[in-house]
Structures are given as C-alpha cells and as structure tokens.
Amino acid sequence: MLKNGATTLWEHWPDKSYHIHYFMGFVDNYFHRHLAGIDFDTSNPGFKHIIFKPQFIDEIDFAKGRYQSIHGEITAQWQRDKQGNIEYKVTIPVNCRAKVLLASGEKVLPSGNHNLTIKSNNTLIL
C-alpha cells in the first residue's frame, strides 16, 4: 500500500475499494475492544454501561487497555499464568455499571475495581 502512495489503510488489497481509513486506526480499536475487551453498549451510549468482552488468544499472555470516558477512566487487563489461568482486572467508573462477557459465563458488576480469575477449565471466580 505504501509503495502505491497510500496514506490510509485500504479496505481491500489489491486496490479495489475505499481509501478512507486513517492509518493504524483499526489496530488500536482491535487492541481496546477485542484484546483488552473494553466495549460500549449500543443501547446505553456514553459508557454509562460498559461491556467487557476480552478475547484470550493462546499466542498472547497478557493485554492491557484504558479509555478515558466522560464518567471516568475505564481499564481492563488480563494475564495468563503458567497453569493457563487468566486473571482479568477491570475498573468501572463511579455511577456506572458493566457486564463482563466470557466464554464461561457473564457477570454484572457495579462501579469499582474488580479481579476475576478464569481457570484453565473455564471456571469463573470473582
């Protein structure tokens, strides 16, 4: 793409479509929304209700992200230990709530700091 004068990421390669994506834009979106898992609820805009839905990829041992919302800082991070267990930590701003969606189930959490452990057998511990 660069050799062909691109200043944005093209939707298709070879050049068959739009050139409107700002360069590297989708990469940070992927890190925040999918790896760290910080996402918004389309029925409650403005991050008053947060959805945490991380993707635990086998080739990655940790991910960390944060977002400064109008209600305060939202953070999410996870780390895999040697036994394959994953500790997932989230911070939910005051007067907000969140839903954590995992393969092992879901939890609704009030504002505050929370540590969740996902055991290698997919058991969720809060």
Q: What is this structure's pTM?
A: 0.73
**Residue pLDDT, tens place only, 9-45:** 666 555 555 656 555 556 778 888 889 999 989 888 8
Can you tell me the distance from the alpha carbon of 111 to that of 74, in angstroms, rounded to the nearest whole number?
10
Q: What is the mean pLDDT of residues 106-122?
A: 71
* In the chain, domain spans: 31-125
Which CATH number is 31-125 given?
2.60.420.10
Q: Percent of the chain having pLDDT more than 90?
A: 31
Among residues 89, 87, 57, the alpha carbon closest in space to that of 75 is found at: 89
Question: To which H or E segment does residue 63 belong?
Answer: strand 62-69
Is the model more confident about 9 or about 63?
63
